[in-house]
């Protein structure tokens, strides 16, 4: 895919402009957004992603394997969006555990999203260098995604709860910084009686930042399993992260009702992991595997990947809501 320096510059400039606009708007009027605000903003971001997909379909053509770049973008966007929704669960835990006032949650979420974009951009650059120079890295990426999928299933079966607000970095910060009790938005430091006070918002940012790094470790190998085009990888991540802040407030308790989301994501990650291993076997250059020659002559088409991901997400959502409905009905019966 031929992407000019001008296209990259325009894309990065628009991304920065949207983020800056969001930061300015939130800083001027920190508040809990209304459902109308969230729905409007979310529809704009999703509409922009679909419009961009249409642009890629119309202008970019196909790769050497015959896969449409537009299909690659749509598939990558869906994968990253589903992983980002999982990220929201962790954001909810952080906000609740650290008692972030509703008024300032927008600011905390905005910082979390900006950090996620920064970390993913770094990992995209590193990932692209790896896949460009070492075809065997797909074996490692594939194995890592399958391992992550297994861990997700195990944590679901064990009913383990995530506690990102208790990780070592956060505990170290709490122990070594003079953290106050007052919330002043994104003002992270001030002095009282000559003593420097650290805002609890800084602890929230540290918790979100460390969480973003862990999620980037999952999402970047996953998106490279869909496309190796850095421009599509970057834009899929940008569009997936845009609107997460509004989605957080719009869905609210619904996120807690998607009880099978982790299982759905584990299946998607395992599928993409298998796809990466198949790709590695197709591109094989390791001398100790089949004498450095390709092992198989077939790769998983992007269109098939898109279908599997859409079906998995739909089944996951329907099954989750059905279980939630049954549980609520059972609670009502017991209450009688």
Residue 128 has pLDDT above 90, yes or no: no
Residues 6+ apart with CB under 8 A from 116: 84, 87, 212, 215, 216, 241
Q: What are residue 189's phi and psi, to 5 degrees?
A: -135, 145
Query: Using CA of residue 163, residue 118, residue 30, residue 245, what is the dihedral sign?
Result: negative
**CA distances in angstroms from 329 to 144, 255, 261, 325, listed in the order given:** 40, 19, 21, 6
**Dist. CA 251–CA 38, nearest whole Å:** 9
**Dist. CA 43–CA 229, nearest whole Å:** 27
Instruction: For the chain, give the percent of residues with pLDDT over 90.
Output: 19
**Dist. CA 245–CA 249, nearest whole Å:** 7
Q: Tell me the average pLDDT of the chain.
A: 84
SS3 content of the chain, % helix, strand, coil (to 5): 75, 5, 20
Per-residue pLDDT tens over the stretch 210-259? 888 878 887 888 888 899 899 999 999 999 888 787 787 776 666 667 78
With contact defined as beta carbons under 8 Å apart, do 143 and 273 qualify? Answer: yes
pLDDT of residue 166: 67
Query: Residue 253 has which token pair?
Result: 């308790």
The whole model's pTM is what?
A: 0.82
Residue 176 has pLDDT above 90, yes or no: no
pLDDT of residue 312: 92
Give 35 or 70, the one with higher predicted confidence: 70
pLDDT of residue 336: 65
Nearest Cα to Cα of residue 136 among 290, 257, 304, 324:
290
Query: Residue 309 has which token pair?
Result: 């991901």
């Amino acid at each position: 895919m031929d992407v000019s320096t001008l296209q990259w510059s325009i894309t990065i400039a628009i991304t920065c402009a949207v983020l800056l606009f969001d930061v300015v708007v939130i800083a001027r009027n920190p508040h809990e957004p209304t459902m109308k605000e969230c729905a409007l903003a979310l529809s704009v971001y999703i509409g922009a992603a679909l419009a961009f997909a249409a642009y890629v379909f119309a202008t970019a053509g196909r790769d050497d394997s015959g896969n449409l770049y537009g299909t690659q973008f749509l598939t990558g966007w869906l994968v990253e969006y589903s992983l980002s929704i999982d990220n929201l669960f962790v954001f909810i835990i952080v906000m609740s555990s650290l008692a972030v006032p509703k008024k300032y949650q927008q600011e905390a979420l905005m910082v979390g999203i900006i950090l996620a974009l920064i970390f993913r951009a770094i990992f995209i650059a590193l990932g692209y260098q790896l896949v460009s120079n070492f075809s065997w890295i797909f074996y490692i990426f594939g194995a890592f995604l399958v391992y992550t999928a297994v861990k997700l299933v195990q944590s679901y079966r064990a009913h383990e709860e995530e506690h990102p607000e208790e990780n070592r970095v956060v505990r170290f910060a709490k122990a070594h910084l003079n953290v106050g009790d007052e919330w002043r938005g994104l003002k992270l430091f001030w002095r009282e009686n000559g003593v420097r006070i650290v805002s609890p918002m800084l602890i929230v940012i540290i918790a979100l930042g460390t969480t973003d790094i862990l999620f980037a470790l999952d999402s970047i190998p996953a998106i490279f399993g869909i496309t190796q085009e850095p421009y599509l990888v970057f834009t899929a991540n940008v569009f997936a992260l845009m609107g997460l802040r509004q989605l957080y407030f719009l869905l609210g308790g619904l996120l807690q009702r998607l009880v099978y989301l982790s299982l759905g994501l584990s299946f998607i990650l395992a599928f993409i992991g298998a796809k990466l291993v198949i790709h590695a076997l197709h591109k094989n250059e390791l001398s100790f595997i089949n004498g450095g020659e390709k092992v198989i002559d077939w790769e998983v088409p992007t269109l098939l990947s898109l279908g599997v991901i859409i079906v998995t997400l739909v089944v996951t959502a329907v099954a989750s809501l059905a279980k939630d409905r049954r549980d609520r009905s059972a609670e009502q019966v017991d209450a009688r």
